[in-house]
Amino acid sequence: MERMTTAELRVREVTLRFGGLYALDDVSFTVAPGALHALIGPNGAGKSSCFNVISGLYRASAGSVTFGEHELTAYRPNRRARLGVGRAFQNAALSPHSTVLDNVMLGRYALTRGGFLACGLRLPWTRREERRHAARAAEICDFLGIGAALHTPVGGLPYGAVKRVDIARALAVEPSLLLLDEPAAGMNAAETAELAGTIRDVRDELGISILLVEHDMGLVMDIADRVTVLDFGRVIADGTPAEVQADPEVVKAYLGTDNTESTEAG
């Protein structure tokens, strides 16, 4: 697959308030070009909020998010996608009756000609253009190991494959930074291990950066080169997996919660 060039993502002093609640409080971290960077933390720590600020679903109350020379906070989600910031969703909004190819093609439509409007009307595409995009979508599916299911409705696929379709659709936008929101949620151990290999391949072969929000501590520690840890909306640690695992603040944050992560962290 063709390699891309990517840029540094800089999150600087981002604060996000919901009324009196600080979902994010002065959060800063940097995703280096080509890094596989994980954002972790106990339930309610602010991971999704941070993800949503970066992808443009939420507007930060203060602070800045830049990707290369672009100040992302000024742009709407579609514009961010065209700048190369692509995201896969935790609860994939895939169409179960459509084939894998059609679902992934939605990502291509978003890439060209004004996105969903053009997609809905299907006006501006010529046959040749459509074939070119379909070939690229098929290539992406092959790369993700779902090439054999190209013409299968998504609703008939096993769960692990559905998550790959979601990632394929995000990659179809040709992002240079891929945002993955809990890709291993609901997966069994075997599926998670396979997914870890796929995520690593995506980074290695495409040369893009990946920001991963994930509960599965094993997966994070296995594949991330850098980890930022949030707790109560603040960054409490930032470093290599080994560094953050040994950090007393991180240990305290996880042991202090009664969610399942405390056992996964050990």
Shortest distance, position 19 Cβ to ligand ATP, whole Å: 7
Shortest distance, position 87 Cβ to ligand ATP, whole Å: 14
Work out whether 260 is an interface residue with ligand ATP (CB under 6 A): no
Phi, psi of 37 (to 5 degrees): -110, 130
Residue found by looking up tokens 């602070």 in the block: 63
Shortest distance, position 23 Cβ to ligand ATP, whole Å: 3
Q: Bridge-partner residues for 228, per DSSP? A: 39, 238
- The correct pick among 18, 117, 189, 256 for binding ligand ATP (CB under 6 A) is 18
Q: Which residues of 81-103 are buried (b: 16+ CB within 10 A; e: fewer)?
A: bbbbbbbbbbebebeeeebbbbb
Phi, psi of 217 (to 5 degrees): -65, -35
248: Cβ contacts below 8 Å, ≥ 6 apart: none
Nearer to ligand ATP, 17 or 200 (CB): 17
Shortest distance, position 47 Cβ to ligand ATP, whole Å: 4
Q: How many residues bind ligand ATP (CB under 6 A)?
A: 11
Q: Residue 156: which H helix or E strand, with range?
A: none
Nearer to ligand ATP, 208 or 244 (CB): 244
Shortest distance, position 252 Cβ to ligand ATP, whole Å: 17
User: Nearest to residue 241, comparing CAs of 219, 213, 215, 256?
Assistant: 219
Site track for ligand ATP across 23-62, x = CB under 6 A: x-----------------x-xxxxxxx-------------
Nearer to ligand ATP, 49 or 198 (CB): 49
Work out whether 256 is an interface residue with ligand ATP (CB under 6 A): no
The size of the chain, in residues, is 266
Q: What angle do CA 195, 197, 200 make, to 5 degrees?
A: 110
Shortest distance, position 51 Cβ to ligand ATP, whole Å: 7
Work out whether 11 is an interface residue with ligand ATP (CB under 6 A): no
User: Nearest to residue 161, comparing CAs of 170, 150, 175?
Assistant: 150
Note the residues at the interface with ligand ATP (CB under 6 A).
18, 21, 23, 41, 43-49
